[in-house]
Structure 1
């Protein structure tokens, strides 16, 4: 945490300067504090605008970059010094670095009454419109009889006073954290996903009904798509369409592709729907994602897509435990991006991890230990807060999909 300390006196010697220097060196493990002097600050005069002078801009930039401010004020004629008042005037004339900035007031005085009246006045000034500081409420540090309070090393002598000051600074640190969190700009709300794919992107095949059972055949004819023994040039290979199909169908997992327009375009048709971990049927290809999911799951589907589209997550993984104790099925939702990093869709890949786990244990001779240990992540099996594969929270919206595949929406018990 970075704080700025402002000495409220321009005198050559000031106990308030000693107080801020004591705070900076004694509590440096809790925060970093730079002490600023008001010695060279010109008297405020709006007819002679000094806003852009190096002296005023130094305060402006330092305060803007700081998490909070501590002002140590003396008391002159029951109020603050003209020099302190001038710097606050400059900082509320055309620039407003103290606006919504957490500020703590402290003060040292020659007499036993401390600086109670000047602190009260300073609080009123700082809270005035145009200044707008968030002054630390309900706490006052009044160092009376300051000429007797410091030892020869400029440390406060009384342990009780040091303890009280430390407690106040600890509370102020928490206050700064809370205020800055409250004032942090809200994250922009993600735009709702168009699950009905009513828009279009560069690769959208127009003029074909997305809901048609033979969408693949119609779309292929519309664009004169390569097929069969036609060759396709890939990044590092040349394959026929048939070879691509056989290659993708041989993958030891179920693959699904939905584009950035939220249209379900492809799955590797490796098994009949009833034998798949997440059943799909040929007629689903081409459907908008809204058609692939029950309406009650649309909110969860939106959340997954927004996480991937925004870059908040590159992959979301979740175990679907409805396949029985002999399987450990994981659904992975991986963002697909082009060469420039732009989101172009979702690669959902689903596989049963248990054969891999069994093979690993057999090869290494290791065994699972303990009835409460998850064999994949060693997470406690009865821990309701952690997903054993992705460590995703169980309250993560993707979990509400339960037995429904969150991209294709096909029921697991189809």
Structure 2
């Protein structure tokens, strides 16, 4: 079982950090406990948002990857420390890694009451809306008279204290296991946890009804979005909104942006619905991904998004079933987008008929396509996600609703062009 420990003190010498270090050492072999530092966490301020900064993202990832959290709090004026409260402010502002996470509170204090009042304060904070931690509702571990509690090697000296700590940790590990067993997601394949309903707002989510036909217009009004001749500073360019639209709408491929909340928020609208390779309607923009696909495609969409979100791969490519050699070869490509710190920020999908390019190449080089008797069909055309393999989805895994039924690529009989070679 993987646990992380957080001491609520940033002092160079901390008895609560010493207690956590003992816990991690004492349970080596039975538990994997990693102690996280909070000394470089900045002061919380909405006016100086540092959610994407390395210290906050480090804590977020470590907590999310752990089965549970142990927090050791000192007592400052009958409450927990400003340092620990500050950390929880960051972890409940725009990110929520403690939500539904099992937490055990322990603490050490100079006096006989241990850190009882601080633990009560911390419990109330952790159970507040927006934090949503699942604090173990059982025995508290209060280490009193901490100045004399450890020997010269950092081990607890009192055998009864150690026995009680063993009992508390035993209950906590059972608590973690019970909570995990209660989660429906644990009974499913990992990719089934992907939520296509866009019900987990992120820092870029716009508070506009997702089923609104004029979602773009409402969102632009709400955010005072730039438009027309207003300039937008990009990573390596400065364009007006009009220029940006002209640029994207003259791309030789259809582009779609799904954000990290599984919400369809953009496509380059340069063709009418019936002329598109992956037909979309303007009113679909703003919809959750669950509303953009027929029911038969939902599982495959989840597989693709989950694989990209969880870094199984960064790019998934697949041909549309029914491609015919010498007529068309439509490809759907899905590329994960990530922030500078590596966090998933959505998917860039592009759809392109590559046959005109291949045809032009053959015409200009005097070559031709012939069947290769030794070619093997690419197994990645399967609609399933397998360990150590690139997953793929059926052709409906775009932000569009298609009229015709599409079968998973694995069920398609490959046409002769799918195993062709170029020969002079």
Larger radius of gyration: 1
